[in-house]
A and B are shown apart, each in its own frame.
Chain A
Amino acid sequence: MPTVRINDENVTFNEGATVVDAVAQTTGRELTAEGKPADGGRLGVAVALAEEVVPRSRWAGVELSEGDQLEIVTAVQGG
């Protein structure tokens, strides 16, 4: 069971879990395999793994490995 760092916090997932699972767990939203909210609308979230953006279309294909560093970001007030 891989433990990964998401936004500087350790989270443990089941074997075979992917980036989709990481995003679903962090946002508390149910996601489709395409990384879209199951209840429609836009998610407004992006993921970087080891400082590289993982496009939404590839979330389901990227399995989490022990020690992965993920950044999960969204828009906040600013500017």
Chain B
Amino acid sequence: MADMSLPPLQIGGYSLESRLIMGTGGITDLAALEAALVQSGTTLTTVAMRRYSPETKTSVFSMLERLGIDVLPNTAGCYTVRDTLLTAELAREALETDLIKVEVIADEHTLLPDVIETLEATEQLAERGFTPLVYTTDDPAAARRLESAGAAAVMPLGSPIGTGLGILNPHNIELICSRASVPVVLDAGIGTASEAAAAIELGCDAVLVASAVTRAQDPTAMAEGMRLAVEAGFHSARAGRIPKRQHALASSPMEGRIDLT
């Protein structure tokens, strides 16, 4: 059998082994989260940066460290360049990584990215030596601007965070992927495994999934589904699909049929 293992993905100076990036929010049972993360095969998982409290302690960080999963700190909750930069600096110091998921939102109702603030933050973070993975809209023009500003990966949303609406504008995602010279990670909106496969088929190099797994009725089963979907999408994208046709094309020969009179 041919070796079909997926090659690692290079994001700046970082080598991503699994193309399924996971989130850790949306689940209170840490043991269930751990089971889902292990099942997903992920090697990079997001965390948020918040004030230390006796309740939270450092349990997520310790768990990821124990599982050998790299942390991808995000700047969730940031609205401006200023709080994004400070959050990123704190994350780099606390977690000893240059990776940062840049997430600058416009308002708490839509959680949509504020592309203007995001662009400025990306530029400054790149100058400060970070490896910015940048959450953005599905706007192909914005994706190119972010790339020029120093994004190591662009992460367009399929649909708003936590909605599970899937990929609302597949044409835009495909356009972003076809013109990008940095990796594209589909971030936000995925609700089920077929949508993760579709993202990869559209040309995305990886997907980021949080709520779809952590809020599923059986997070471990969904983690397995997502893992397989990313692999399936990768192979089918690489395989070169058949063109779509107007009319049927028989795959069995017409000659030699039995003749009933």
Contacts and interface: CB of A to CB of B under 8 A. Distances in A.
Contacts of B93: 46-47, 53, 55-56
Interface string B43-60: 000111111111011101
Interface in A1-56: 7-8, 26-28, 41-48, 51, 53, 55-56
Contact of B25 (A8, A27, A56, A79): A79
A72 interface: yes
Given A7-B51, A45-B94, A46-B90, A79 B46 contact: yes
Interface residues of A, number: 26
B46 A78 contact: yes
B91 interface: yes
B141 interface: no
B94 A74 contact: yes
Contact of B23 (A42, A53, A79): A79
B86 A77 contact: no
B76 A79 contact: yes
Interface stretch (B95-103, B225-233, B234-242, B245-253): B95-103
Interface string B201-244: 00000001010000000000000000000000000000000000
Contacts, number: 106
A79 B53 CA distance: 19
A44 B58 CA distance: 7
A46 B48 CA distance: 13
B74 A79 contact: yes
Contact of A75 (B73, B86, B101, B103): B73
B86 A53 contact: yes
Interface in B119-173: none
For the complex of A and B, list the 4 residue pairs with the smallest distance between their C-beta atoms, beginning with the closest: A78-B48, A79-B46, A46-B94, A46-B93
Interface of A: 7-8, 26-28, 41-48, 51, 53, 55-56, 71-79
Interface of B: 23-27, 33, 46-54, 56-58, 60-62, 65, 71-74, 76, 86, 89-96, 101, 103, 208, 210
Given A48-B89, A76-B48, 7 more contacts: A8-B51, A45-B52, A53-B90, A72-B52, A75-B58, A77-B33, A79-B101
